[in-house]
Amino acid sequence: MAAEDLHRNPGWPLIFELVRTVEYRFFHCRRCSCCVAFPDTFFEKAENYGLFVAVFNFKLDKQKEENRGNVCITTADVHCLQCNNLFGVKVD
């Protein structure tokens, strides 16, 4: 599915919305309309989740380590810079 079609995907979480203007297309926070990413930085991994490789206007919570079987990963919650809406998780 193309990033341009995400706003029509009923299975997609309602935290982002794709906005099209004459000059730009971008994702913004559904709560406060703060711009957070461009469509070419998004890769859909499955019907209900995806991956952004670059975002802006965000803040990270404190990083925490999680053990997943034999693997230890570092995660941090990602929030909107303006309204503190939870977007998802950053994984290192």
Q: Domain spans of the chain?
A: 3-91
CB 40 within 8 A of CB 18: no
What are the percentages of helix, strand and coil residues in the chain, rounded to 5?
10, 50, 40
Residue 83 confidence (pLDDT): 93
Mean pLDDT of 30-57: 82
Mean pLDDT of 30-37: 88
Q: Which amino acid is at 75?
A: T
In the beta sheet, which residues pair with residue 88? 78
Average pLDDT, the chain: 76
Q: Reduced to 3 states, what is the DSSP secondary structure of residue 39?
A: helix
Check residues 1 and 78 and name the one with the higher pLDDT.
78
- 3-91: what fold? 2.170.150
pLDDT at 54 over 50: yes
CB 82 within 8 A of CB 88: no
Residue 44 confidence (pLDDT): 75
Q: CB-based contacts of 79: which residues, under 8 Å, 6+ apart?
A: 58, 59, 60, 61, 85, 86, 87
